[in-house]
Amino acid sequence: MKKFISFLFLCLIISVSIGFYYKPQNEDLGNKIIGFSTLVFVFVFMPLFIYNGWKGKKLSDYTFSNKNIKK
């Protein structure tokens, strides 16, 4: 999963760079590439990244409760 997230991040960085490269020549195409990359980043990459970071952790360890105050 970690390798897939790294690969996806690299692909997104490359696609945004390509979008900025094409923007002076063909502004519509450049904007579409940048916009699609941003959408994929927000709706695909970020949830996968957050899920991978929280996998195996208990939310109760990070909440403010009487049990955690006594620790």
For residues 35-70, one letter each, b for 16 or more C-beta atoms within 10 angstroms of the residue's C-beta and e for the rest, the string is: eebeeebeeebeeeeeeeeeeeeeeeeeeeeeeeee
Q: What is the pTM of this model?
A: 0.78
Q: Digits of tens for pLDDT over the chain (71 positions)?
A: 899 999 999 999 999 999 999 999 999 999 999 999 999 999 999 999 999 988 888 877 777 777 777 76
